[in-house]
Structure 1
């Protein structure tokens, strides 16, 4: 079948390939299954091969996707350094090698890289797409990505990757169904009645093709009926070949088809199969699945077993394929042999979610294995699940493994699992359980004498003490370091160094920050990703608490990139909450909202690590007067108060106190202060104690000034201007306005202007109500339409922002709105100032994140 009604798409791709001479372009080709994405890509690449270097890779619908599957395909074609780097397993080097393959000399043919079926992509491949998207403008290449948009649910990871691609070089092509006229043309060529064909297929090109190619006069009701009716006309040998190919996702290479040559030839001649660069395949995945699902379970399992036997001897085969066929063959021993291998390979590439899936497959087949082997699988699964942010799942696995090790009398592994139960209990908010398990781990291991398990158990106690702001953290950490160095255990040594550095930094010793940076460098060089990230997480978190916002911003940006590149999902979500806190403090409310929302996205997980995101978003909504703020802050309080640690309790108690004050309920605000202030004072944290002391004083409670941070002390002692100046020096405009709101009429008026500009409508109403009560003049507030906007934009400014998002210049906006270019320039400057961004591009990105109505926050 020709490519009917695809001329426009082909022209777009040709234009983008020509434009790539001046900088890379990305073509996103979407459509439902059977829409013709592969056919379009094939026709386009055929047309440009004389002047382009075509590299083609595809994602496969394996049980667990191959890590960097399409890159393996591309490496076979590109050769050179990329093929060598794939063998090394260093993901960063692989990504750089892919980029190098696209960035050849100017006299060479420009690359066209096709990646098919990204809806089946593994996480490492999606990270590669994001990596290339941010750098492709430096290359002379076209990246053509295809995916099924009807298979992307709201939480599909591909959505986030596509949304994050830079807008300039991206062109989206959605392939619609064929029109009734196009189907009529095709049906006429086949001598068929078009009406029933169109009614049965809805214009899906694949289904139209199959229906028109089917023998007989009737129209099959489903693809399965169609394929089976066509197979029935073939010889038994051809049907056997088709059955074999149907259980091989993507394509079957020649080695798997030995003994089936005649049948394969017949399938190719009859249009059931098509030739690929590496073998044969069904012309569409729907056809393959239709044949596979028609097989009896017994025959399907036998075919998978046969393929497994053939692949097992190939040293270059991806173990993910072996796991797929072993699982579907029901061969538990083979699954248990290959799933851990595939999991370790995925984890080495940073694809922790894929590693989790492989271990889950192994555990499903481990019912009859010896307890010791099952416990080992559980422990390995728990480690990668923890790294992927699946802490509840990891905790359950460790507890199950602990039961097995205890029953077997394995003291060393009992202690090690207790230590892991302690760590995972803390992550899930079970602080008391964490402390009990940590203490028990030491009790179990100490009779064994010095060793790596005991050293790590000591370091775990140091970590728990540090998290509780306990002065004994350093002593426990130094005991762990001494033991670890005695046995050359770098893993434990770095873990303990992070604890000691964190404890010192918590006490205001700047040397602790230097120690954390050193620990990060050592851990990163040794591939100890968990410790490397934790060192910077603690560095950033403490800087946020102490309002060292420049340090916090720099460290957060660095560690977020590090954690996301290694799929450390739990850390990444926690860090986004901290970065949201910094952005809120500095007046970048859209950025804060975006970070906090991302930190709260994804499957819910128990524990307080989402508190920074919840507090930031809850405060933002509370200041705006959004009704959702109460529920969000109360959810944070549930986790924080259960955990009982100041890093969670302090910010939540202060946020709820502010929320209740804004709502005009100082009594409830004081109740929250009392939950956090004594703990902050006892620990000796000047900033958290100061924030809580401020709200106690603001709500009519007793004044506390000893041991609190300077801006709060100045304000409570009556130096409003001094307090505001301290906050302004730190770049905290809202906090400065809070201080000014406590001053005279002029100072309160200045505060109101800040609140109005930031969109803190509820805060502004509360301050105006206070001014009215004391008989002071009340400055007029913004117009209602401006108040409704989360950034305080006027209706005209929202129009301008929307046109910025469409990529229009000032002159084009002026024509559209019947304004002068100079007036538009003023509006653009005002929009940038209110959004707190330096460029039109960043303003446009914010516009695309906002709701379609451009006036309501996304939660409304």
Structure 2
């Protein structure tokens, strides 16, 4: 995989075109700057070129991964696949890219990806780039032209080299445009000056091209001649049967200069123009309809775009299209569709109000069954949003509402949802009772979906209780749900299995395997809510296992999703906060305060327990045992009340460490058991109770992780206990390079974090720019960073600068 990155106008597309010119069989997919991106847009482009099973799968709205893999595994010359402008890609396209990337080493293919590396830190592309396999990736970072190059070009045009460089910053596109224009001025004025020189009909066509991104022209009318005038004037460039702007920067300059009324009128013309064509992607029509501010067109095309996106599994894009309709005052049916797509996209918090409004509309219309169904869905969404109190009230209301009529499917599902809430709160007996009632009603009604939903709840409760057969039964329920097309239930079976294995088991390898299976299913079906949650859970497991680089990468990817509160991001906050605390990073307290707030709102031990453990550790490391004891007691009381042995044991241990009470832990046996299960941190805590040799092993493990604050506390504790021969900590230089950087790379990183360019770094360290670029690429790879800005932020977080 080749990642071609740089700012707009830096030459990414030019480089790719030059590379592709000498190669046959290249597939090219492009992302477009639409308000809501086309679902799987670049992959549809590639399918039109590839044909065969890939085109058939996308046309049928089936998952295209298998067909794409088959196409790229065929014998013959390696295939080159280019995806341009990934910063405009939809979520489904990025998810498919991750799935393909994880299999790239077995494929006869090169993936070339172009993107802008100056996007905002929260942009979803960053999470995608962080998830790509490092060993298969080569980064091609395109720097600006040097002063010498710009001076040479300016001299040929008789222009002032310093003025041209100051005007353009060495951006190749802007240099080209500046040198083609006579009077010097602001760069965005260059294209506008050329536009003004055109006569009205040609200028009108160029402005239409600006809002449509690309203008297709056919026939023998006046348009071909007008396009020729635009090309001759340097406003547009020819592209196939039409024309467009040489670069997005130039197109944006024209579009931004349009008066609001004129821009709306052009978008309306774009809709009418596209309506006359066959098989136009509804996302394009919805884009222009929204910007035309024509409500009738917006209602028509947003609905078709939403339904198309949902059919392709692009849930986030479907929710965005439905959201536009909700803003116009949609009815209950649209509110329900919007809420369901938002739920699947992991945007539960924004769907809560939609379900509440839909319930009110159904109740006002006298449709009690659908009103109750919306109340049941409100419960589910409230739980994902972290408001368990609302979830319990809503499901109770649903059972009451649906109980007014004859027992039906919606009542069975409401009973099962109540069982689900009991199961999630570790209330095993009520979960089994309500789940059994739901299953019996569903069986009488012949309702297979609710029967599976209830069985998952009951079986998960059995697994929590320690039933050895329940784990395998959840896998069978997953297969049953998947075969019936019940994607959400199939995913939940695997998620419940993975997370319950984490709560009750000590074998982290088995837990990671269960998480991997659940993640793979969520990936295939674009289930962002589950994916965000599972990435955080895996991050927490990796922290415990000692894989802190992997844990932080998972946490960053999880927290790159739009949901910032509720259940979804909570495990990632806990994992990140635990590493920050152990390493003594100043952000630790804020992260753990956020985790506590979200956990307490859930009222569930599986959220509150891990937060209490990490917060108790945090205050212990900071030398405040009273606050550590209070945190441990908070979780311990809840763990005891629901009878959870694992959390009771772990929180009682931390309480004893905070209060100085004698511990009955057999540290040798505990360390041996934790070692077999791969639980490095638990083993460290056990060894810390032992003799000098055991404590030395614990310190060595903490030092290797860069856990300076945790190791400092342990050293002080050992000295208080009178343990002799406590090893000293690592030298500062070693600690500073915990990320695996060489001494020279650490120097480059410090200058990079100060905002220095490659040329400035080269001058400061007496190196060539090419050598600096190699060092920067290595730094980005070692820090799992997608850009210089992200590398600087990571370096500050790790205390490397």
Give the TM-score range, shorter chain: 0.7 to 0.9
SS of match in other structure, 2:467: coil
Task: Pick one of 174, 193, 202 that aligns with 1:238.
Answer: 202
Report what 2:546 is aligned to. Answer: 587
- Return 645-654 or 589-598, whichever deviates more: 589-598
Instruction: Note the C-alpha offset of 1:295.
Output: 4.1
Distance 2:704 2:14 in 1: 53
Q: Kindly indicate whether residue 52 of structure 2 is the aligned counterpart of residue 68 of structure 1.
A: no
Task: Pick one of 645, 652, 659 that aligns with 1:693.
Answer: 652
Report what 1:105 is aligned to. Answer: 75
Instruction: Note the C-alpha offset of 1:669.
Output: 3.3
RMSD across aligned positions (CA):
3.6
Instruction: Note the C-alpha offset of 1:226.
Output: 3.5
Task: Pick one of 656, 670, 694 that aligns with 1:723.
Answer: 670
| Post-superposition CA distance 1:550-579 (Å, at most 9, x none) | 321111112123223433333223222322
Number of matched residues? 766
Given that 2:502 and 2:511 are in contact with CA atoms closer than 8 Å, whether structure 1 keeps it comes out as yes
Relative distance call for 1:725 and 1:352 in structure 2 (3 A) is: same
Give the number of the structure with larger relative contact order, counting CA–CA contacts within 8 Å between residues 6 or more apart: 2
Task: Pick one of 222, 227, 243 that aligns with 1:280.
Answer: 243
Task: Pick one of 423, 430, 455 that aligns with 2:380.
Answer: 423
Report what 2:634 is aligned to. Answer: 675
Relative distance call for 1:570 and 1:77 in structure 2 (3 A) is: closer
Report what 1:361 is aligned to. Answer: 324
Report what 1:5 is aligned to. Answer: none
Instruction: Note the C-alpha offset of 1:407.
Output: 3.2
Q: Kindly indicate whether residue 343 of structure 2 is the aligned counterpart of residue 343 of structure 1.
A: no
Relative distance call for 1:854 and 1:789 in structure 2 (3 A) is: farther
Report what 1:120 is aligned to. Answer: 88
| Post-superposition CA distance 1:48-80 (Å, at most 9, x none) | 04xx22333321112211122222223333323
Distance 1:695 1:208 in 2: 63
Given that 2:577 and 2:589 are in contact with CA atoms closer than 8 Å, whether structure 1 keeps it comes out as yes
Relative distance call for 1:443 and 1:843 in structure 2 (3 A) is: same
Equivalent residues in 2 for 1:22-171 (5 A)?
A: 26-46=1-21, 48-49=22-23, 52-91=24-63, 94-106=64-76, 108=77, 110-150=78-118, 152-171=119-138
Given that 2:131 and 2:557 are in contact with CA atoms closer than 8 Å, whether structure 1 keeps it comes out as no
For structure 1, the residue ranges without an aligned partner over 5 or more in a row are 1-25, 368-372, 704-714, 807-841
Q: Kindly indicate whether residue 183 of structure 2 is the aligned counterpart of residue 218 of structure 1.
A: yes
Instruction: Note the C-alpha offset of 1:417.
Output: 1.7
Instruction: Note the C-alpha offset of 1:262.
Output: 3.1
Instruction: Note the C-alpha offset of 1:232.
Output: 4.1
SS of match in other structure, 2:565: coil
Relative distance call for 1:483 and 1:317 in structure 2 (3 A) is: farther
Given that 1:256 and 1:310 are in contact with CA atoms closer than 8 Å, whether structure 2 keeps it comes out as no
Given that 2:546 and 2:681 are in contact with CA atoms closer than 8 Å, whether structure 1 keeps it comes out as yes
Instruction: Note the C-alpha offset of 1:729.
Output: 3.1
Give me the TM-score of the superposition, normalised by structure 1.
Answer: 0.80
Instruction: Note the C-alpha offset of 1:461.
Output: 0.7
Instruction: Note the C-alpha offset of 1:594.
Output: 3.4
Relative distance call for 1:673 and 1:785 in structure 2 (3 A) is: same
Relative distance call for 1:485 and 1:318 in structure 2 (3 A) is: farther
SS of match in other structure, 1:60: coil
Given that 1:756 and 1:787 are in contact with CA atoms closer than 8 Å, whether structure 2 keeps it comes out as no
For structure 2, the residue ranges without an aligned partner over 5 or more in a row are 750-777
Task: Pick one of 620, 623, 629 that aligns with 2:579.
Answer: 620
Q: Kindly indicate whether residue 282 of structure 2 is the aligned counterpart of residue 324 of structure 1.
A: no
Distance 1:143 1:292 in 2: 32
Q: Kindly indicate whether residue 565 of structure 2 is the aligned counterpart of residue 606 of structure 1.
A: yes
Q: Kindly indicate whether residue 437 of structure 2 is the aligned counterpart of residue 474 of structure 1.
A: no
Relative distance call for 1:202 and 1:474 in structure 2 (3 A) is: same
Report what 2:798 is aligned to. Answer: 858
Relative distance call for 1:119 and 1:611 in structure 2 (3 A) is: closer
Distance 2:715 2:207 in 1: 76
Distance 2:655 2:451 in 1: 43
Given that 2:532 and 2:561 are in contact with CA atoms closer than 8 Å, whether structure 1 keeps it comes out as no
Relative distance call for 1:773 and 1:341 in structure 2 (3 A) is: same
Distance 1:338 1:661 in 2: 58
Distance 2:138 2:533 in 1: 33
Distance 2:706 2:155 in 1: 63
Instruction: Note the C-alpha offset of 1:460.
Output: 0.9
Instruction: Note the C-alpha offset of 1:514.
Output: 2.2
Distance 1:504 1:782 in 2: 47
Distance 1:764 1:207 in 2: 53
Distance 1:189 1:785 in 2: 53
- Return 197-206 or 157-166, whichever deviates more: 197-206
Given that 2:509 and 2:678 are in contact with CA atoms closer than 8 Å, whether structure 1 keeps it comes out as no
Task: Pick one of 447, 451, 457 that aligns with 2:408.
Answer: 451
Instruction: Note the C-alpha offset of 1:504.
Output: 0.9
Distance 2:782 2:144 in 1: 33
Given that 2:95 and 2:526 are in contact with CA atoms closer than 8 Å, whether structure 1 keeps it comes out as no
Distance 1:854 1:412 in 2: 52
| Post-superposition CA distance 1:620-665 (Å, at most 9, x none) | 3444444543443333223323322221222222333333444444
Given that 1:523 and 1:531 are in contact with CA atoms closer than 8 Å, whether structure 2 keeps it comes out as yes
Instruction: Note the C-alpha offset of 1:87.
Output: 0.5
Relative distance call for 1:179 and 1:733 in structure 2 (3 A) is: closer
Distance 1:171 1:591 in 2: 19
Instruction: Note the C-alpha offset of 1:444.
Output: 0.5
Instruction: Note the C-alpha offset of 1:179.
Output: 5.2
Distance 2:208 2:794 in 1: 54
SS of match in other structure, 1:32: coil
Relative distance call for 1:746 and 1:227 in structure 2 (3 A) is: closer
Given that 1:235 and 1:263 are in contact with CA atoms closer than 8 Å, whether structure 2 keeps it comes out as no
Given that 1:391 and 1:605 are in contact with CA atoms closer than 8 Å, whether structure 2 keeps it comes out as no
Q: Kindly indicate whether residue 465 of structure 2 is the aligned counterpart of residue 500 of structure 1.
A: no
Distance 1:560 1:32 in 2: 33
Distance 2:619 2:174 in 1: 60
Relative distance call for 1:174 and 1:634 in structure 2 (3 A) is: closer
Distance 2:734 2:16 in 1: 49
Relative distance call for 1:667 and 1:283 in structure 2 (3 A) is: closer
Instruction: Note the C-alpha offset of 1:753.
Output: 4.9
Given that 1:350 and 1:566 are in contact with CA atoms closer than 8 Å, whether structure 2 keeps it comes out as yes
Instruction: Note the C-alpha offset of 1:89.
Output: 1.4
Instruction: Note the C-alpha offset of 1:755.
Output: 4.5
Q: Which has the larger radius of gyration?
A: 1
Distance 1:317 1:81 in 2: 21
Instruction: Note the C-alpha offset of 1:182.
Output: 5.3
Give me the TM-score of the superposition, normalised by structure 2.
Answer: 0.86
Distance 2:326 2:574 in 1: 38
Report what 2:468 is aligned to. Answer: 510
Task: Pick one of 521, 542, 562 that aligns with 2:500.
Answer: 542
Given that 1:590 and 1:846 are in contact with CA atoms closer than 8 Å, whether structure 2 keeps it comes out as no
Distance 1:294 1:666 in 2: 62
Relative distance call for 1:305 and 1:764 in structure 2 (3 A) is: closer
Relative distance call for 1:103 and 1:551 in structure 2 (3 A) is: closer
Report what 1:831 is aligned to. Answer: none
